[in-house]
Structure 1
Amino acid sequence: MTSAVTGRRRLMGAGLGAVAAALAGCSGRSGPVPRLRLATGPQGGPYNAFGRALARAVAESGGRLEVVPVATAASVDNLRRLDEGSVDLALSMADAAEDAALGREPFARRAPVTALARVYVNYTHLLVPAAGPARSVADLAGRPLAAGAAGSGVQVLAGRLLGAAGLTGGPAPADERQLGLAESAAALRAGTVDAVFWSGGVPTPALTDLARELPLRFLPLDGYAGALRERYGPVYTAVTLPAGAYGLTGPVGTIGVGNYLLAREDVAVSPAGELLRVLFDRRRDLLREVTAGVRLEPRFAISTGAVPLHPGAAAYYRSVYG
């Protein structure tokens, strides 16, 4: 049993009296309303949409809590902001969050990161023009490709996948370009890149729009799941882009990565519990603004790997699920 799992069970096993006391502060308090800054992602992206939707849900809930979404470059940038204390909450892909929790590259040391919930799963997309020659990752050797914006989780995952495919060194490494989703789609349309990496829900609206203009091929990535898991842990799973999405005539195997809602270790227990109450009360509609087909699954919420649960999260789950 891993130390992360052991620690999580110890938190979840706290006495019911302690749990009730921890959550009691969520209502009936006097004094200033807790204000939590949430690092999201770039304007127009799914993290930013989710962060704004969550902030609105909190405001509409009638509770004593304010969430202020902050636009960022996404996962890695968010984790660095958590570390420095300029934000209290953050959204991040699971792989980047574990890197921060463990003090693994690109982080120089362990960051004070805890998890509130695993909220949904990203599907990795590697798309090329259907009329082009590329049919596998290996075919991208020496070619320009959009590998995610600087400071994003997409950039981390793209680099790891290219490394697993042997395209980060040698005589013909892929030409990785740091582009966000909108810029990536524009570059593929213009022919200035030959491929685009993206990690998000299915379907991602920007890619649906692109597929209407430019027939696309999605390259299979599930064959790299084992190598990624062996090196970086179980945050990577084999999943499937379904037939019908983006006009696909058949399923395409790819890599799935969870998304975590995170908090600094020093966020108080009561507002953390209040935030989770709103998150789960509104779970059926909160993610509609992110992308179609995404659902928050409560039974998987505590599956946060090497990232320890925040004490407020452990208290909330214990109070709800026993």
Structure 2
Amino acid sequence: MTRAELSRRRVAAGWLGAGMAALTGCGAAAGPRRRLRLATGPEGGPYNAFGRALARAVGASDTGLEIVPVSTSASVDNLRELAGGSVELALAMADVAEDAVLGREPFARPAAVTALARTYVNHTHLLVPADSPVRSVAGLAGRPVAVGAAGSGVQVVAGRVLRAAGLGPGPSAVRDRQLGLGASVAALREGAVDALFWSGGVPTAALTEAAREVPVRFLPLDGYVGPLREAFGPVYTAVTLPPPVYGLTEPVGTIGVGNFLLAGDGVPEDAVRALLAVVFDRWRDLLREVTAGVRLEPRFAISTGSVPLHPGAARYYRSVYG
């Protein structure tokens, strides 16, 4: 089955779910609601959790909106669906969003998408078994490595780190395995891969569970922040995995990448302003299952780099925060 067919099936499933929700909840609010399809991520992942939480929060509001989460492979897939008009909203990592608006690989041309908010920061995780001889990214040469699912932002940042370490195409290249988070953890546990990359909030529940079951080590990646910023701009930042998450006894330096809530050009300004009102009112609920110890603030939310703010978002921030 082709990616396009899979995309159409996911969107159709989202619309079917929306129709059932409308039938069962038709008395909840006066008048029809404006439906906005939101490209999230795979079932069980953080984007999917954020999307479901946003749909619940908006559904309980009096905005006249309805959010329909659509499961996808995540960032790259989401930007393609948003640019193609299959969805009205999307979640994506900031580096992939900038690639889309600038027309950089893996996108063939610039995409007309806009940002509503920068929501939270992903931390790049690189795990190996605790008894592995691998002590650095360079030590992964020639080894099987889980680099994220096809169409995901994990795959983008993993590829850039590996190339920065001299492990791009050629004799030293890793044997990349395109696997989602659950499959990556299983492959590491079974010895089918020697390392796995993940980009997500801290802590990520699947990695917390994996660290309880199998002794693992987290390799530092902060040494690659400089080269990545030089190549791709300030979208990459230095962050740490703090103890005691994952059983760590000391911080591990790594790469941070923001996450954006995005919209297509055709989403009306009033819908964007109403949606953002819910986001800032209910941000604790939205981030509860995604990342810990952070809050969503306007000065953080408007930092969207090369991705322009939607006009409705710009008006929302000016009207509420000056």
TM-score, normalising length: structure 2 = 0.89
**Aligned alpha-carbon RMSD (Å):** 1.1
1:298 positional shift: 2.7
Question: How far apart, CA to CA, are the structure 2 residues paired with 1:56 and 1:140?
Answer: 42
Question: How far apart, CA to CA, are the structure 1 residues paired with 2:214 and 2:291?
Answer: 21
User: Which deviations, in whole Å up to 9, do the C-alpha atoms of 1:175-227 show, x marking residues without a partner?
Assistant: 11100000000000000000000001111110000001111110010000010
Alignment correspondent of 1:218: 218
1:319 positional shift: 0.4
Letter in 1 for 2:183: E
Question: How far apart, CA to CA, are the structure 1 residues paired with 2:315 and 2:195?
Answer: 45
Alignment correspondent of 1:90: 90
SS in 2 for 1:139: helix
1:169 positional shift: 2.7
Q: Which has the higher contact order (CA 8 A, sep 6+)?
A: 1
- Asked if structure 2 preserves the Cα contact closer than 8 Å seen for 1:39 and 1:70, the reply is yes
SS in 2 for 1:273: helix
Question: How far apart, CA to CA, are the structure 2 residues paired with 1:225 and 1:239?
Answer: 9
State whether structure 2 residue 175 is matched by structure 1 residue 175: yes
Alignment correspondent of 2:264: 264
Letter in 2 for 1:226: G
Corresponding pairs, count: 293
Alignment correspondent of 1:312: 312
- Asked if structure 2 preserves the Cα contact closer than 8 Å seen for 1:116 and 1:310, the reply is yes
1:118-133 pair list within 5 angstroms: 118-133=118-133
1:294 positional shift: 4.2
Alignment correspondent of 1:160: 160
1:10-25 pair list within 5 angstroms: none
Gaps of 5+ in 2: 1-29
Question: How far apart, CA to CA, are the structure 2 residues paired with 1:286 and 1:261?
Answer: 12
Alignment correspondent of 2:34: 34
Question: How far apart, CA to CA, are the structure 1 residues paired with 2:261 and 2:136?
Answer: 33
Question: How far apart, CA to CA, are the structure 2 residues paired with 1:252 and 1:287?
Answer: 23
User: Which deviations, in whole Å up to 9, do the C-alpha atoms of 1:226-261 show, x marking residues without a partner?
Assistant: 100010111000111112111111101000000000
- Asked if structure 2 preserves the Cα contact closer than 8 Å seen for 1:147 and 1:177, the reply is yes
Q: Percent identity?
A: 75
Alignment correspondent of 2:10: none
Runs of 4+ in 1 over 4 A off after TM superposition: none
TM-score, normalising length: structure 1 = 0.89
Alignment correspondent of 2:105: 105
Question: How far apart, CA to CA, are the structure 2 residues paired with 1:170 and 1:266?
Answer: 43
Alignment correspondent of 2:144: 144
Alignment correspondent of 2:21: none
Question: How far apart, CA to CA, are the structure 2 residues paired with 1:226 and 1:191?
Answer: 32
User: Which deviations, in whole Å up to 9, do the C-alpha atoms of 1:26-79 show, x marking residues without a partner?
Assistant: xxxx97421100000000000000001001000001221111100000000000
